[in-house]
Amino acid sequence: MQKKVDFLVIGTGMAGLVYALKVAEHGSVCLLSKTTIDDTATSYAQGGIAAVMYSPDDYEKHITDTIKAGAGLNDEEIVRITITESTGRIKELIEWGTQFDKEKSGKYALAKEGGHSEYRILHHKDTTGYEIQRALSKKVREHKNIEVLENYFAIDLITEHHLGKMITRGTKDITCFGVYALNQKTDKVDTFLAKATLLATGGLGNIYQTTTNPIFATGDGVAMAYRAKAHVENLEFVQFHPTSLYVPGESPSFLITEAMRGAGAVLKTRSGEAFMKKYDERGDLATRDIVARAIDNEMKLSGDDYVYLDATHIEQNELLSHFPAIYAKCLSKGIDISKDMIPVVPAAHYSCGGVKTDENGQTSIHNLYAAGEAACTGLHGANRLASNSLLEAAVFSHRAARHAGAHFKKAGFRSGVPDWNDEGLVLNEEMILIAQSKKEVQSIMSNYVGIVRSELRLKRALDRLKIIYRETEDLYNKSLITEGICELRNMINVAYLIIRFAQDRKESIGLHYIVSYT
């Protein structure tokens, strides 16, 4: 099947939905999801969305906090754009039906998280992302110009490469004409041609053994863009969230929001010692890189598999009204958070790097935009400030939509794009090889490319990965396309990039902590 659409959007999280709603005013829109519309990391978001709402907060304070968290590697212009446009984007989310919690006075209730000097996190209890996703996906479903195709797995971006032109890294003037995507209901690969394509594929947490991310988060967008020779950036900066619920074998790991520390919860060793003040004067509300490393260190010192988060001194009413989902989840594991301390461990959570974009969400490939976690705008630098991710998605989807809406008519549909060729390929029966290789990638990344790195560990990771890469490319070239082989290939591509970026950065900074350079 070949389908033509003005705007193609890969991903139905916050980035994809905001963009779709806006470009739908200009033309036809098709959204692809590899699972279902609401199965997104956006739906998992707990703490909330950071924005400057009331005094004594102001834009300069939020800008300073963002740059301090990012260890100064942020693009200051992009930080300024994001923060100064935050209030407008929040108003829009509210107009679209998102309900943020309010105080009795009618003002929005604002929470605090690590690295923030003011209370500025808008939230909907501890299920903020679910509420945003609900409101946006309702509007998208109602829009007559938008079609949503679920269970469609985007495999590769279509560029001049598919028309027989030799493209190498560094080739200038590459153009994106659309995407090849696997219809998981028919097992056929369809061709989507578009005037503008947005990558909004989210994160890559599943290249690690323990992650807060939904299982689909395998870095597909970054891998696709890299294979198409787009610029990617900052991939060494993988953020580990300090506090995921310790339940061995459970995947994804359930997050215990940082807002709980904002409300007064304290990290303690298993022997009951509060330890964060030893590491940073901000204590439990230091930035995530510092808190995750401190927990890692305490676990290594004690040999324990977890530390505790103690919320037992917070009023039960506050726990129940602000954190009902966490309360219920912990109770289902036999932990009453008003009486018992919560066992927590760090887990891979967020990719600060991604497909390099400019202030309008444009990538280095013509007619290809990226937004949300798949993109690297320059906002986060070496470490993302808590709750700045949803904000970034809102701001740059809006900007990308504005730009694409103004320029898409010049693009047209590319003629002569061949259909996907799978002649002579056979269905790979060896699913066990794919499952096993995925586990090997996760093990390599967790053991050698985690919170603390060394040059030797990075080299070992690369050497091991190269073997899996060769085996997988061999299998890929012989097999009919399946989601499993595509995901594995993407995981290997992205793991490779993280290792190479980590090897190239000869300093410890933000989330990249390497013992050779401390």
Task: Give the list of residues 6+ apart from residue 363 with CB closer than 8 angstroms, or none.
Answer: 199, 225, 230, 231, 355, 356, 357, 369, 370
Give the type of residue at 258.
Answer: E
* 11-70 positions binding ligand SIN, by CB under 6 A: 46-47
From CA 361, how far away is CA 392, in angstroms rounded?
11
Residue closest to ligand SIN when measured from CB atoms:
47
> Which of the following is catalytic: 89, 120, 261, 288?
288
Instruction: Looking at 479-517, list the stretches that DSSP marks H as alpha helix, in order from N- to C-terminal side.
Output: 483-504
Would you count residue 383 as binding ligand SIN (CB under 6 A)? no
Question: Does the annotation mark 288 as catalytic?
Answer: yes
User: Stretches 9-17, 51-59, 168-176, 257-265: which one binds ligand SIN (CB under 6 A)?
Assistant: 257-265
Provide the 3-class DSSP secondary structure of residue 423.
coil
Total of residues contacting ligand SIN (CB under 6 A): 9
Would you count residue 275 as binding ligand FAD (CB under 6 A)? no
Pairing outcome for strands 342-351 and 307-310: antiparallel
Provide the 3-class DSSP secondary structure of residue 229.
coil
From CA 171, how far away is CA 225, in angstroms rounded?
14
Task: Tell me the CA end-to-end span of the chain in Å, nearest whole number.
Answer: 55
Would you count residue 201 as binding ligand FAD (CB under 6 A)? yes
For ligand SIN, the closer of residues 46 and 197 by Cβ is 46
Would you count residue 35 as binding ligand FAD (CB under 6 A)? yes
Residue 13 C-beta: closest distance to ligand SIN, Å: 13
Residue 384 C-beta: closest distance to ligand FAD, Å: 8
Q: Which of 8, 9, 10, 434 binds ligand FAD (CB under 6 A)?
A: 10
Total of residues contacting ligand FAD (CB under 6 A): 43
User: Stretches 200-208, 400-408, 458-466, 499-507: which one binds ligand FAD (CB under 6 A)?
Assistant: 200-208
For 101, other C-beta atoms within 10 Å of its C-beta total: 17
Strand order in the sheet with 375-376: 232-233, 354-356, 375-376
Q: Which of 30, 33, 346, 368 binds ligand FAD (CB under 6 A)?
A: 33
400 binds, among ligand SIN, ligand FAD, none (CB under 5 to 8 A by kind): none
Would you count residue 197 as binding ligand SIN (CB under 6 A)? no
Residue 31 C-beta: closest distance to ligand FAD, Å: 8
The angle subtended at Cα 75 by Cα 94 and Cα 43, nearest 5°, is 35
Give the phi and the psi of residue 10 in degrees, each rounded to 5.
-100, 105
Q: Which residue has the tokens 């202030």?
A: 359
User: Stretches 44-52, 282-290, 296-304, 470-478: which one binds ligand FAD (CB under 6 A)?
Assistant: 44-52
Residue 454 C-beta: closest distance to ligand FAD, Å: 27
The secondary structure of residue 347, as a DSSP letter, is: E
Contacts with ligand FAD, 367-396, as mask; x by CB under 6 A:
-----xxx------------xxxx--x---
From CA 512, how far away is CA 517, in angstroms rounded?
10
Q: Which of 6, 9, 46, 482 binds ligand FAD (CB under 6 A)?
A: 46
Rg (CA), the chain: 22
Contacts with ligand FAD, 48-67, as mask; x by CB under 6 A:
xx------------------
Give the phi and the psi of residue 465 in degrees, each rounded to 5.
-65, -35
Strands (E), 74-208: 110-111, 121-122, 146-149, 152-158, 178-183, 188-199
Contacts with ligand FAD, 347-366, as mask; x by CB under 6 A:
---x----------------
The residues that touch ligand SIN, with contacts defined as CB under 6 A, are: 46-47, 257-259, 350, 386-387, 389
> Active-site positions?
288
